Structure 1
Amino acid sequence: MTTAEQDPIVIAGMAVEAPGGIDTLAAFWSTLADAKESIQPFPRDRDWPVEQLLSLSRIDGWGKVSDAGGFLDGAIEFDPLFFGISPREAVSMDPQQRVGLRVAWKALENAGINPGTLGGEDVGCYMGVSISEYGPRAGEINEYTGHRVTGTALGAVAGRISHSLGLVGPSVSVDTACASSLTALHMAASAIRNGECDWALAGAVCVMGSPAAFFEFSKNNGLAADGHCRSYSDDTTGTLWGEGAGVVIVEHESRARELGHRIYGHVLATRINHNGAGMPIVVPSTEAQERLIEKTIAAAGIDPGDVGMIEGHGTGTPLGDPLELNALQNTYGAAESADAVLGSLKSNFGHAQAASGILGLIKVLLCGEHGYIAPSLFSDNPTTKVDWTRGKLRLAQKLEYWEPRNGVRYGAVSSFGVAGTNAHAIIAMPAGQEASHA
């Protein structure tokens, strides 16, 4: 028996912030279970050129931009003095640092850990994040000059958490685009197994400092024309951008049990790979995703037919969704005993980019905790670009009981980055301690 089998990696705490004013796990679960959509108009307090955005489709070749997205209500809220940060420095900080620090603190509290007692501990911090274009340029004189080096550095998202808490383990910000969350989880779990740190925080954050993603995808005609992210639907016209943040506490099971921490789930396996050359860098690869899923299943040591819930990437793009579905059909759907239910919370909150994977992971853990699989919105008209009869997968169209296999609920999470990186995770959650799903 390997060390990993003797003392597996578990998730012992978590916290989340999501669009619609959601800042608790209970509110997050309620939105998912009740099949609610948390999409709002563009924020009017970020100095974004909203009128220009909404008129981009008048330019020849550009696509429509709807006045819609999944935006964090509390992105501008922060108590700097609580974290020992001066107000002037706080304003200069990318909001992703502020939100990430706040959610990390709540994840520690959820695990029953006092964040104020961690100074000098060998704890790792791995945070997924991508550039946000927040604030004025550093290459000019302005009132924030002197704080822009750390204020704009992606490395400061993880570094700010480690510094504020006094952690001395590895501190790494991860940017593999939309695969960043699960890449961070993979690195954290690997570091603990290799003895690089005693335990770790892992997660990701996305707060859009500018509307750059809307400009880019309007030019590429990749945005949802109706302002909804219709994952895996035949009605989809493109994706819809969103924001969010999530952090989980990762440690050995022996440590969690010794300290009385709640165990939400076991991290059976995580893997990452790349599409390689061939197609344009932004085009997903069914073959690469299939190889990745097969490697993750093999590392987890389970029958793929045991996986009852798959939280897919599901960006809602007419190109990406069918390619992903084919990979899932060829792996999980091909198992003799398969009966997996598939969905994507992007249909609820939009595409939270670097944070999308961690939000999906927390969704799976909450579904396991409650014993029910949350529905995926807009799933009543599945895409006709794949043959659904070829594999044993179906879309989550309603809140339904999650039947365990041999007393365990197995869930999988996928994330794929625009630069070609793919990430996959398999989680196991013992049944028998379900909370009320109401």
Structure 2
Amino acid sequence: MTEQDPVVVAGMAVAAPGGVDTLGGYWAALAESRDLTGPFPRDRGWKIGELLRLGEREGWGNVADAGGFLADAGDFDPAFFGLTPREAVAMDPQQRVGLRVAWRALENAGIDPASLAGAEVGVYMGASHTDYGPHGAEVNEYTGYRATGSAYGAIPGRISHALGLIGPSIHTDTACASSLTAVHLAASAIRAGECEWALAGAVCVLGSPAGFYEFSKANALTPDGRCMPYSAEANGTLWGEGAGVLVLERESRARAEGHRIYGRVLATRVNHNGGGAPIAVPSSAAQERLIRSTLAAAGIPAEYVAMIEGHGTGTAVGDPLELEALTAVYGAGGSAEDGPLLGSVKSNAGHAQAAAGMLGLIKVLLSGLHGAIAPTRYAENPTPDVDWDATSLRLAAKLRPWTPIDGVRYAAVSSFGVAGTNAHAIVAMPALQEDPRG
């Protein structure tokens, strides 16, 4: 049975590769199935030549000059947020981007960010280590600011501090499940009365190319710079960046305040693979248990879910195991004509790691807003790991109209992290007219 006064999304903002920094721009890129990736940034001091030669080492995979990078990751106005330039440079750019996107999410909800001092508002932000800045155990011009500049608790902390919020301020790192974990924690806190409303989001800005080195050694990077989730041509993942922040509150409060309701958070759940396989190997059984648990908490049948935003990294291990779980739950009933459509924004923008689930969730919410299921790239030739004749699940190969059920569109978002954590969310979106603020 669904709750009578659900937690809803009342505002949101996004930063995605390809210069995308508005909801309208993000939707246009998704609807047009645009490639948002590009070459490595040349202004971060990375050893590009060495990166591109890693494949010459025995046992290492090729690294393409490609990724999903934020065009404005270094842009920041410290004075606007009451910071000195020296302190701003010492701050992990994930703090800067997270702060900037949180401000825009509040504005999207029709809330004046400068009016919130003293409010018991929660802030829950997902982020992982990306190796920014000099080591703390050395003398440099940023010594004295490194403690707060490199602290991951300061990603939500900067938002709370800049806005004067006094509610919970919590960083979460469940690797690539961090986005949905943050939403789970924020929604749970609102339901428990820990805060009246909250900001929930995630951010990923690569302070170094360390992830490319790691996955080159693991031979899990795409050698041609294309992330092709669930495709027969999938040959590895592609790292990316991004950020997204949601404004969450009870539906009664949103209506009383005149806020738009983008969607209801029907249920979120988080679990772990447990032991057995190596820690980085996903578990189909754990993911299936999680999906079934989330559906039970949402109080809807699996057949209601018409859009699934999967994790979909394009890797030889991850995608087949995820598809096994998804087809077992969402592809077991109905027919191919009316079955759910599956995709992954990683095909557009690369794998934004801790922020990947947030980019996917905002994709779902915008699809609901516009009444159309956004396509996933490289879906024309689905992987042979699935018997597509035996499941109603299909890849979203093109932009498709989305017919609501009794005025509501239902969708699911799935994420799992390299340390074994899985997260799943089910949202319901009222079929309303497009918001001019989008």
Q: TM-score range by the shorter chain?
A: over 0.9
Q: SS of the residue aligned with 2:62?
A: coil
Q: Is the 8 A contact 2:409 2:428 kept in 1?
A: yes
Query: In structure 1, what residue type is equivalent to 2:35?
Result: E
Determine which of 91, 105, 108 is the counterpart of 1:110: 108
Counterpart-to-counterpart distance in 2, 1:27 and 1:6: 34
2: CA distance, partners of 1:335 / 1:163: 49
Could you tell me how far apart the structure 2 residues matched to 1:432 and 1:208 are? Answer: 37
Q: Secondary structure at the match of 2:156?
A: helix
Q: What amino acid is the match of 1:21?
A: G
Q: In the alignment, which residue of structure 1 is the partner of 2:131?
A: 133
The equivalent of 2:209 in structure 1 is 211
Deviation at 1:433, TM superposition (A): 2.3
- Equivalent residue in structure 2 for 1:252, among 250, 253, 269: 250
The letter of the residue matching 1:142 is N
| Structure 1 runs (4+) greater than 2 angstroms displaced | 335-338, 432-436
Letter in 2 for 1:62: W
- What is the CA distance between 1:388 and its match in structure 2? 1.6
What corresponds to 1:427 in structure 2? 427
C-alpha distance in 2, partners of 1:335/1:283? 28
Instruction: Report if aligned partners of 1:371, 1:402 keep a CA contact under 8 Å in 2.
Output: yes
Change (3 A) 1:434 1:88: closer
Secondary structure class of the residue paired with 1:109: helix
Quote the Cα distance in structure 2 between the aligned partners of 1:435 and 1:398: 23
Deviation at 1:333, TM superposition (A): 0.8
Give 1:187's match in structure 2, choosing from 177, 185, 198: 185
2:118 aligned with 1:149, yes or no? no
Q: CA deviation at 1:64?
A: 0.3
Question: Could you say what secondary structure the match of 2:414 adopts?
Answer: strand
In 2: Cα distance, 1:32 partner to 1:325 partner: 22
Match of 1:388 in 2: 388
Question: Of the candidates 229, 237, 240, which is equivalent to residue 239 of structure 1?
Answer: 237
How big is each residue's C-alpha offset from its partner over 1:32-75, in whole Å with a ceiling of 9 and x where there is no partner? Answer: 00010011100000000000000001100000000000000010
> What per-residue deviation string (whole Å, max 9, x for no partner) do you get for residues 69-102 of structure 1?
0000010000000000111000000000000000
Aligned to 1:347: 347
- 1:10-47 per-position Cα deviation (integer Å, ceiling 9, x unaligned): 00000000000100000000000001001110000000
Q: 1:120 aligns with which of 94, 118, 131?
A: 118
Give the TM-score normalised by structure 1: 0.98
The SS at the match of 1:246 is strand
1:48 is matched with which residue: 33, 36, 46? 46
Q: 1:69 is matched with which residue: 30, 43, 67?
A: 67
| RMSD over aligned Cα atoms | 1.2
Query: Residue 418 of structure 1 aligns with which residue?
Result: 418
C-alpha separation between the residues in 2 aligned to 1:13 and 1:327?
A: 31
- Tell me the CA shift for residue 319 of structure 1: 1.1
Extract unaligned runs of 5+ from structure 1: none
For residue 293 of structure 1, give the secondary structure of its aligned residue in structure 2: helix
Partner SS for 2:388: coil
What is the rounded CA distance, in whole Å, between the counterparts of 1:240 and 1:423 in structure 2? 21
Distance 1:217 1:26 in 2: 33
Distance across 2 between alignment mates of 1:260 and 1:102: 24
In structure 1, C-alpha distance between the alignment counterparts of 2:144 and 2:389, rounded to whole Å: 60
What is residue 168 of structure 1 aligned with on the other side?
A: 166
Give me the TM-score of the superposition, normalised by structure 2.
0.98
Q: Counterpart of 1:407?
A: 407
Check the 8 A contact 2:320/2:385 in 1, yes or no. yes
Q: Which residue of 2 aligns with 1:18?
A: 16
Alignment correspondent of 2:96: 98
Q: Secondary structure at the match of 1:302?
A: coil
Task: Tell me how far apart the structure 2 counterparts of residues 333 and 226 of structure 1 sit (CA, whole Å).
Answer: 31
- Kept after mapping to 2: 8 A contact 1:39/1:350: yes
Q: Give 5+ residue unaligned stretches, structure 2.
A: none
Candidates 276, 279, 282, aligned match of 1:281: 279
SS in 2 for 1:51: helix
Tell me the secondary structure at the aligned position of residue 366 of structure 1: helix
Give the drift of 1:336.
4.1
Looking at structure 2, the residues matched to 85 and 278 of structure 1 have their Cα atoms a distance apart, in angstroms, of 48
Counting matched residue pairs gives 435
How far apart, in 1, do the equivalents of 2:161 and 2:176 lie? 26
SS at match of 2:389: coil
Spell out, residue by residue over 1:196-245, the C-alpha distance to the aligned partner (whole angstroms, 9 max, x if none).
00100000000000000000000000000110000100101100000000
